[in-house]
Amino acid sequence: MQKGYKLLLIGIFIGIYLFLTAWVFVPIVRAWPLLSPKNQVIGKLPDLKPIIVLYKDPFLCLLELRNREVAIPWLVISSLIVIAITIWIAWERWNERIFHPTEKKTKRPKVHMPNHTADATAIGISDNGKPIYIPDNARHVFVAGTTGSGKTIALSNFVENGLAKGYGMLIIDGKGDTGPRSLIDYCCRMSIRYGRQIHIIGGPSSNAKYNPFRNSKETEAKDMLISMTEWSEPHYRANVERYIQSLIQLLLIADIPLSYDVIIENMSKTAYETLSAQLVRENKITKEDHIANLAISSVSSDITASATARFATIVEGEGNSIFSADGIDVYTALATGDIIFFCLSPLLYPSFASSLGRLAVLDARKAVSRMWGDHKPKFFIFDELGAYVSPMLVTLLSQARAATVTCIAATQSFADLEAAGTSMRRQVVENCNSFIIMRQNSPEDAQQAADIIGTYEDMDITYQLSEQKQTGLGSARRVRQYFFHPDVIKNLCVGEAVFVSKETGQRSKVWIRKPE
């Protein structure tokens, strides 16, 4: 059917071309004898009325082609134009092939891409034409691809599948890109298509407020607050942690809903001791507890004062438009089957973006602890995780398995993870069983990717030759060969990847599916 349409279009194009050339050149051929010096009469202008009539009525030009004197010159001119265009196109292609031989062209297979199944995400199609799927309960998925390799498209398949099936999803974008074909752009367009609610935290598209301390216990709230800033001295951090945990415990006893603002407002020594004394009067804590609280205040309040300034700076700055007492948390979004999207902006707010990312990871860990026993799949997508990777993320990857959560960790290169330590990279990779490896420009990253994909045993056979024939000498030894050499990974096209499943042993090149 497509071939018939192509032939029809070619026929239409040829017809239009012949019509236009006849309209332009037939009058010229007819006018040429009249303008010849041999046919000129002195003092008299040539009669060009027949030529003007031809220009006014192009169909008369077609009738003139019946005349051999007109048809032959017209055919010669039309053929010369076609030959000139053909030579020009051939020259351009030859010039591109000779002078730009290293430019790779993406040649996607002209086949129908697979659709998502009831229990799996469609990733694409292998080089031998077989569809590639990742189960919705995979433990877990690692995606690596340099900028422009198609990593966002690969992640959008999980977004589309989760939205279509009503899965709750947490997405943290460490790059903060909000342009067309960005991850947040795909999420917003697909959420409208499938009628799903998306809560965007941070970035210019923000449409929701955030309260990570909602329904938190004292230790959880303390850990989240402490993660918001860097600590250089363990002793200093220990005292602040002790003070904050005691304060949050008092707030919970007083039935005061936790929020970022509430905690900061009560962190001063005066507010802390006043709250403790009030709870004694209300018989909610004992006098002994109050005395212990005063002891904590006398030891740690002065140290905590400088930390309070740090936390207050966050609230008064970028956090002012994000945090709110009535904001949503990760657990609430997932429990209602919604999508919560954290859009970090490391270029605009490098320190705050990293803090917000770590806070979201701890909030996700809190949500996971409350979802054990929930058998409905959920997706956690961590894009550009090098911007906020921490030991808490590794803990989350290991704990998420028990809560039917599939984590998709994505980064441009392995070097992004090594910024947090070589052991961090190894731990993230060790917690994943499925890998989508896209182009890696760095030789070191391509080598690491090839090592993850693995090797197979092969026989290396050599022969010794003389000038005329084989000598009969040689060697044979067992060697390990890469399934996919690092040079193959460095030369993958846009939208092309190597898929590896450690659970099934599957290894193949794959063309990434692009959501509709």
Q: Distance (Å, rounded) from C-alpha 202 to C-alpha 322?
A: 6
Q: What is the pLDDT of residues 60-92, one digit of tens each?
A: 666 666 666 666 776 777 778 778 888 888 887
Give the pLDDT of residue 206.
Answer: 83
Q: Is the pLDDT of residue 440 over 90?
A: yes
Is 344 in contact with 204 (CB distance < 8 Å)?
no
Query: CB within 8 A of 244, min separation 6: which ones?
Result: 222, 225, 226, 263, 267, 304
Tally of CB atoms within 10 A around 19: 14
Question: E strands along 289-344, which residues?
Answer: 339-343
> By percentage, how much of the chain surpasses pLDDT 70?
83
In degrees and rounded to multiples of 5, residue 316 shows phi and psi of: -80, -15
pLDDT band at 363 (very low <50, low <70, confident <90, very high): very high
Distance of CA 91 to the CA centre of its chain: 38
Exposed/middle/buried for 129, CB within 10 Å: 0-12, 13-18, 19+?
Answer: exposed
Q: Distance (Å, rounded) from C-alpha 184 to C-alpha 156?
A: 10
Closest CA to 248 of 237, 258, 238, 239: 258
pLDDT band at 3 (very low <50, low <70, confident <90, very high): low
**Coil, helix or strand at residue 241:** helix
Q: What is the pLDDT of residues 42-67, one digit of tens each?
A: 555 555 555 565 556 666 666 666 66
> By percentage, how much of the chain surpasses pLDDT 90?
42
Is the model more confident about 43 or about 187? Answer: 187
Q: What is the pLDDT of residues 367-426, one digit of tens each?
A: 998 888 778 889 999 999 888 888 888 889 988 877 889 999 999 998 888 877 778 888
Helices (H), 336-462: 350-370, 391-399, 414-418, 422-430, 443-453
| Cis check: omega of the bond before 199, within 30 degrees of 0 | no
pLDDT band at 129 (very low <50, low <70, confident <90, very high): confident
Is 198 in contact with 338 (CB distance < 8 Å)?
yes
Is 121 in contact with 406 (CB distance < 8 Å)?
no
Read out DSSP for 18-29? HHHHHHHHHHHH
Give the pLDDT of residue 475.
Answer: 75
Sorted by where each starts, the structural domains of the chain and their CATH numbers stand as 2-99 (no CATH), 123-208+329-453+496-512 (3.40.50.300), 218-320 (no CATH)
Residue with tokens 């045993």: 457
Tokens, residue 495:
């939208």
Q: Distance (Å, rounded) from C-alpha 206 to C-alpha 200?
A: 5
